[in-house]
A and B are shown apart, each in its own frame.
Chain A
Amino acid sequence: MVRALLLGIVWALLAGAAASAETQPLIVFAAASLRQPLEQLAPDSPAPYVVSPGASGTLARQIEQHAPAALFASADPHWMDYLSQRGLIAPTSRAELARNSLVVIARARQHLRPLVRLQDLPARLGDAHWATADPASAPLGAYAFEALTRLGIADALRASAAFAQDAGAAVELVAHGGARYGIVYATDARLSREVGVELEIPDDLHRPILYEAAVVTKAPSTAAQVLAYWRSAPARRLFMSLGFGRAVDH
């Protein structure tokens, strides 16, 4: 009986390893923050696909190692450049899906005095902390500090910064952890009902926060159709309904 069980396990694993490509839906490697919009768009897609979420950097490295992805949707242009330089994406297919903007959040229903300008943040904080993602590991932190540097308040706020592993964790810190404010993406503010947007940070204070997608080389021709669908008007409306900013066509 034990022998039969072992054989069954080995068979099941090998069956997984040798899955044929023709009958499977397209695999989309997408940054975790894009999982929700892309999955919601899936039912009306011209070709069926599944979303495989991860960190943009890990996804790019996996595509480099011949991961079976047909499309790559990245939250960080740096990694799209990485693949482009290595000739791993179809160069003309690279396109913007959406943008994002930065917001300042605080715990909901707190009735704090309104934060009118980002420059007022250091004074408003006092001894308290503010949260964002660690600039070393997540682009959110880099964008946040870029905006703060542009206003000349980065040094003043560095000591009181609480770095979280990613945007979700930063939101949690504000919702429950005692960080009075947080700087996250507009889309992240919706991750928790416990936080509300205090202030929208102007887009000109940082590089554009781009979500791009491209067709991976050697992907089936249907991949390009999916990408075109993601850039269509109905798809754009869905992105915006989830808090994303409008994509800019070049």
Chain B
Amino acid sequence: MAPEDLSALVVSLKVALGASLIAMLLGAPVGYALSQVRRRPGAGLWSGLGLEFLLHLPVIAPPVVVGLVLLSTLGGAAPLGSWLEQNFHIQLAFTTAGAALAAGIVAAPFAARAASLSFEGVDSTLQEAAHASGAGRLDTFVNVTLPLAAPGLIAGLLTAFAVALGEFGAVITFAANIPGQTQTLPLAIYAALAAPGGEERAAHLALMAVSMAGLAVLAAQLLRARAQRGFGP
């Protein structure tokens, strides 16, 4: 494997892992809020419409727009970005972390949807039983709701990982195409195809991306099995 290809693989791995975590951090609370609204007695067709809209925003916008919005708020010359740079020496644009943030925002709606469905599906009678055994709201959330929602949340994490792995527009716009730092597999494929004879390298890189996705599916399956032990006989 050529060193540039290995570097793209490593960057993709870091970015996709970071992005799926960010997607969960952003999406799970929205999904949880949506599930709570839906489960309330009297919830109808229009409940949670505002949250649903918020959830879908990054999906409606083209990924490049997500990248541009990030650039104009967190870029070095932008208000928030320059403030972070000057006071905390934190730069997000054009870094691996920035690439993870951009991909994470694009993947967040998928994580939110999975979270919403997972939390909605949690047996409320078990939450009642916890309350009736002395467990308060946070206690119940940590010890009952979360473990029961875990398999679905893991599935959401996997979806977010896959989306982030293939994300192009938001990453190249906010993080640029810097080999070794922000050049993920999709960005490397784009670079390869810009010149004659690049199809072979592009196919090679695409194969690496597919293999990575396959390994992710395997890992998610193992995690899900672990979360679900004890659910069955």
Contacts and interface: CB of A to CB of B under 8 A. Distances in A.
A8 to B, nearest CB: 9
Greatest chain B CB density within 10 A among A9, A33, A190 is at A9
Report the contact-size class of chain A (Cβ under 8 Å from the partner). Answer: 20 to 34
Interface residues of B, number: 38
A65 B81 contact: yes
B165 to A, nearest CB: 14
B179 A52 contact: yes
Interface in B168-187: 172-173, 176-181, 183
A192 B198 CA distance: 10
A6 B92 contact: no
A190 B196 CA distance: 6
Contacts of A10: 18
Contact of B177 (A52, A65, A168): A52
Interface in A21-53: 27, 29, 32-33, 35-36, 50-53
Given A9-B21, A58-B172, A27 B178 contact: yes
Interface stretch (A11-19, A93-101, A200-208, A224-232): A11-19
Interface of A: 6, 9-10, 12-14, 16-17, 19, 27, 29, 32-33, 35-36, 50-54, 58-59, 61-62, 64-69, 168, 190-192
Interface of B: 14, 17-18, 21, 68, 71-72, 75-78, 81, 85, 90-98, 100, 172-173, 176-181, 183, 190-191, 193-196
17 contacts: A6-B21, A9-B18, A13-B18, A17-B97, A27-B178, A29-B176, A36-B195, A51-B179, A53-B190, A53-B191, A54-B177, A61-B68, A61-B71, A65-B75, A65-B77, A65-B78, A66-B76
